[in-house]
Amino acid sequence: MDRSDRRIEKTKTAVYQALNELMQKKKYPNITIQEIIDRANIGRTTFYSHFTDKDDLLSSYIETIFESFNGSLAKSTLSGHNNHFICVAELFTHVQENYCFINGVLMSESGERLMNKFRNYWGKKIEQYLLGQLPKEKQPKVPIDMLTNYVTGTLTELIQWGIKSGEKYTPEQMEKYFEALIFPTIQFWAQD
C-alpha cells in the first residue's frame, strides 16, 4: 500500500470513527455532515472527495463493517468445527463488540440493507451446509431454498432480537439456543 492509499484509509477510518461515536449519542437522521467532519478533524472538501453524502458514508461504513465481520467469522463457514452448525458465539461476540454501531444502523434507513447483506451472505453458507447434510440420492422433505430461508431467518431474527433486548444472554447461550431451534428441523428435513 502506497502513501496515498494509507492517507485515504486513515481519512476514511477517522470519518467512520466519527460517525460511530456520533451514533452512540444521537440517531442517524439527526447527525449532520458538519458534526462528522468536525469530529473527524477533516475539511468538507476532503469529506466530499470520499463520499457523495451522509448516506453514502453510512453505506460505505456498513460495507467496511460487513467485510470485517466476514473476515473475523471466516473460520465459521459452516465447517462443522467444534460440532457447531455456525459459530453463533463468535457472531454474537462480534455483534456485542459493535453494538452501538449496529444498533444505530438498524434504526436508520440503512438497517434493512445491512440485514439483507447479512441474509444473503449467510444464506449461501447455510445452503452449502444443508446440501452437505442431505444423504445422496434423497429428496428433501422441504425444498432447499425454503429451509435455507427458514434457518437464515431464524439467525437474523435472533441477532435483531439480541440487539433489541440488550445483552440478556451470553454469546455461548445464544449459540446453544440457535442450535436447539434449528437442529430438529434440519434432522427432520434430511431423514426418510
Q: Tell me if 76 sits within 8 A of 87, measured CB to CB.
A: yes
Residues 6 or more apart whose Cβ sits within 8 Å of residue 17: 40
Question: Percent of the chain beyond pLDDT 90?
Answer: 29
Mean pLDDT of 41-48: 96
Other CB atoms within 10 Å distance of the CB of residue 154:
15
Lowest-confidence region among 69-73, 85-89, 111-115, 180-184: 69-73
Distance CA 124, CA 128 (A): 6
Per-residue pLDDT band at 1 (split at 50, 70, 90): low
Calculate the dihedral angle through the C-alpha atoms of 37, 99, 111, 113, rounding to the nearest 10 degrees: 90
From CA 190, how far away is CA 39, in angstroms rounded? 54
How do the domains of the chain map onto residue ranges?
Answer: 1-51, 61-190
Q: 183 or 42: which carries more pLDDT confidence?
A: 42
CATH of 1-51, one of 1.10.10, 1.20.120, 2.80.10, 3.30.360: 1.10.10
Mean pLDDT (whole number) for 6-12: 91
Q: What percent of the chain has pLDDT over 70?
A: 89
Query: If we measure between CA atoms, which residue out of 104, 6, 9 comes closest to residue 50?
Result: 9
Task: Say if CB 156 and CB 119 are below 8 A apart.
Answer: yes
Higher-confidence residue of 189 and 151: namely: 151
With contact defined as beta carbons under 8 Å apart, do 15 and 42 qualify?
yes
| The three grid cell numbers given for residue 47, joined into one nine-digit string | 469529506
Residue 72: per-residue pLDDT: 62
- Distance from the Cα of residue 35 to its chain's centroid: 26
Please report the pLDDT score of residue 79 as a whole number: 47
Nearest to 119 by CA among 153, 89, 150: 153
DSSP string, 21-66: HHHTTS-GGG--HHHHHHHHT--HHHHHHH-SSHHHHHHHHHHHHH
For the segment 48-97, what is each residue's pLDDT rounded down to a tens digit? 999 999 989 988 888 887 777 666 665 554 444 445 567 788 888 888 88
Report pLDDT digits (tens) over 137-172.
Answer: 777 788 889 999 999 999 999 988 888 887 788 989
